[in-house]
Amino acid sequence: ATKHGAKLASSCKPVMEVCRLAGTVSLTFVVVSPNVAELIDALTSDVAETRPEDAKSGCVTWNEEGESRSRGCFTVSSLAQACERGDLRAEDDKVARALSAMQDLMKSSSESLPWMPQPLLRVVAPRAAGRVLKQVLTVNMWVYLRRMLFYLIAYPPIHDLMLCLQPVGAVRPLAKVERLEEPVFFSCAEEKKNKSEFTLRGIMKLQEHGGYASAKQPEGLRLQLLDYQLQTLQWMIDHEEIEFGLNQLFWQRREFLDGGFYYYAPELGELRLEEPPVRHGGILSEEMGLGKTAEMVALILTQKQRKERGRR
């Protein structure tokens, strides 16, 4: 509440940036070591900061592995070291990749991120968050994300981490996307004995679907569009007018525990704090000879007429 305090807070900003709880990661390991109790004690040993304190704020509270100062908590580095020694074995590749991803994102000034002076996330896992049952150790870790993490683009560890992250809040698509009906799959029982899904008819049958809503024939277009072309026209119109554009097909909106939202694209493995930009349009990739040029002319004509009606 004083000028001195404000100045100190400003100088501390690089090391006091708030981490926000995004979710939990459950890691499962096969316990190879015969001394389970001793292993758990080693995994939950106290962590003291080993980095020199910041000259201005004295608020650096993590060690060289990016672990926060703690007592009696499981740490990412201790679990990784136990796996390297052979005391633990990750249950599957997904767990191993998530553990490696957290290690990478927690290390400040790592080889992959030499410009980052501080960890990109915080992980908290009290001893009570671990459970051993029939030589299987399950550790539930609370994951806190730092702002800088949301500015990394196409960084594989983010994707590996988010695959295992269970969000604390709701996960919603940006908008409801209308889907085609389920495909009508080929059935041998419907055909003669000498027919199968490997025949031309069978292969074509496998590609059938319920279709799409049809647009009206554009006024002034002399060429009469076929049924599938009218369906394509309506599909293109919809993708030029959907609320959030193309990004609604890829991005989810997720909640932080303390309120507010962030955005995640599973296919891209990318995080954002800001709402993704709206970009309308799409890619028309029908087979050669099906009339893509005619469909595009129809789209241009239809949208022009719709705009003219809107001005009246």
pLDDT digits (tens, 9 = 90+) for 79-107: 999 999 999 999 999 999 999 999 988 87
126 and 232: one domain? no
What is the pTM (predicted TM-score) of this model? 0.69
198 and 143: one domain? no
Percent of the chain with pLDDT over 70: 74
In the listed set 140, 168, 196, which residue is the last one of a domain according to the structure? 168
Residue 6 lies in a domain: no
DSSP 73: B
Residue 23 lies in a domain: yes
Residue 2 lies in a domain: no
Average pLDDT of every residue of the chain: 80
Q: Which of 17-31, 153-167, 241-255 has the lowest mean pLDDT?
A: 241-255
- Residues 10-28, mean pLDDT to the nearest whole number: 71
Residue 269 lies in a domain: yes
Residue 60 lies in a domain: yes
Pairing label, strands 136-145, 121-124: antiparallel
Closest C-alpha among 218, 235, 219 to residue 283:
235
Residues contacting 312, CB < 8 A, separation 6+: none
Closest C-alpha among 101, 46, 100 to residue 74:
46
Provide the domain limits for residue 280: 188-311
DSSP 147: G
Domain count for the chain:
2
80 and 111: one domain? yes
144 and 32: one domain? yes
Tokens of 197: 């899904």
- Residues 127-140, mean pLDDT to the nearest whole number: 92
Q: Environment class of residue 291 by beta-carbon count within 10 Å: exposed (0-12), middle (13-18) or buried (19+)?
A: middle
In the listed set 168, 201, 217, which residue is the last one of a domain according to the structure? 168
21 and 150: one domain? yes
pLDDT digits (tens, 9 = 90+) for 68-83: 777 788 999 999 999 9
SS3 89: strand
